[in-house]
Amino acid sequence: MEAGGARRQIMVALEPSEESTYALEWALEYLVISPDSDHLILLYVAPESLHNTMITGKEVSFSSHVLSVLEKNKKQTAHRVIELAKTMCEKYNVTYETKVMVGEAKFVICDAAKKLNVDLLVVGGHDFGAIKR
């Protein structure tokens, strides 16, 4: 435990990718996560709604049926990712807290880490390559 009795805040950012799963597995395997000294936060950032979105510079509107299908798919994806993460944590006998937030991941993750006073942030790579990065 840290000096003064404060628990270490560890946040793992989740997404539906192999890299994200590997990052969580790595954290569970190589970080000593104890309920007495650590607080593990599993953060999933869902994309914003697609009511009106820009695709290649043109604004596109979707029908209500398409929007409902996309929203349902978004919720199912979030549920699937979180359930996988929970199963992994339980396999390692680690306690955790889950959070789902909405927005652009790179901004939401940074804001959440700051607001939650995170000591350690674990994220997977996107495998974008040097040019896209």
Give the model confidence (pLDDT) of 23-81 as tens digits: 999 999 999 788 888 999 999 998 886 554 545 555 556 667 766 777 788 788 899 99
Is the confidence at residue 128, as pLDDT, over 60? no
Is the confidence at residue 130, as pLDDT, over 70? no
Give residue limits of the domains in the chain: 3-122
Q: How many CB atoms lie within 10 A of CB 53?
A: 13
Q: Among 3.90.45.10, 3.40.50.620, 3.30.420.40, 3.40.50.970, what is the CATH number of 3-122? A: 3.40.50.620
Alpha-carbon distance 97 to 2, whole Å? 20
The model's pTM is: 0.78
Would you state the structure tokens that stand for residue 117, as one six-digit string? Answer: 């006073």
| Higher local confidence (pLDDT), 61 or 100 | 100
Is the confidence at residue 133, as pLDDT, over 50? no
